[in-house]
Structure 1
Amino acid sequence: MSYQVTLTDQPGVLAARKRVRTPAGELTRALGDGFASLFRHTAEQGATPVGPPQVAYSGEFAPDADVDLDLLLPTDRPVEPGNGVEPARLPAGPVARTYHHGPYDRIGAAYEALFAWIADHDRRQAGPPREVYLTGPDAVSDPEMYLTEVVVPLVPTGN
């Protein structure tokens, strides 16, 4: 699969965040449970989601190790902390992004394309990469139809 990487400026966004540590083999369950918790807490707070759910991988990813995740749900207003959920803000700034079409187990190629682009363009990463789930198992039954935006925040040029 070929990936087109684009550079864009992303606006700052309020979000509800839930931090999760899980064995890599239990990632699917952890994401499902975590996102359910985020949506429930957001609804209980009277906040409205204003974008698709996202996950930031804050550490190294190894198939046989635990994975640290920040599950994020953009919201129209801050949420109060509770149930393991806390308010957060996704910072504004430049990002490199690409789109992955297909099952999540093949998304590694999108990361490879992004990091190659970043190196080729002499840019520096400013934060953990994020996956933005545009179309997933909640909307389609065929994993070949999944659409995930993969985003890497960048240090602004001149910094």
Structure 2
Amino acid sequence: MQQVWERFKTIKGSFLAGIFANKLDTYKVNKDLILHSVEPLLCIRKTNLSDLKYWKIDWIEDNIGDDFLLLKEQKTPEPIEYQLIDDPKQKHIIMGSSFSLQSDLIKNVSGYGFKDSNNEILSCIVLELEDVFISIMTGAVIEIKITEEEPDDLGSIIFTT
């Protein structure tokens, strides 16, 4: 799993083109936005408009009840239904729910969790954008929180860029 984390850190300096899912439940709590989804995808774009990667966010629970955040890089927005298109700015039309932000440059990427005997367990990632922080927390329903203030109480820092 650490190798995936290392690869995920490379999104620093990229752009968050959107958050997609088959279903995104959206709530506003005070000044924060909270998105809930079972299998959300982050669409990450490099400076080249057609250089898109999708990061599927999933989770598993171990035998003692600890939740692990799983990240998988992929070239398509599966499992969300989509169509390929021939456009220099866009590769796919995605038939699911979406969420995007105006200021989308990823300035920093951090991972939080805990360490057991030999492993580092990732339970949350935080993307620092120009105006907001996006924290993605594990659980049966993935919670994505968009806030203007840096999140705290997320566990021990495992990595930061």
Q: TM-score, normalised by structure 1?
A: 0.28
Going by fraction, where is strand more abundant, 1 or 2? 2
Going by fraction, where is helix more abundant, 1 or 2? 1
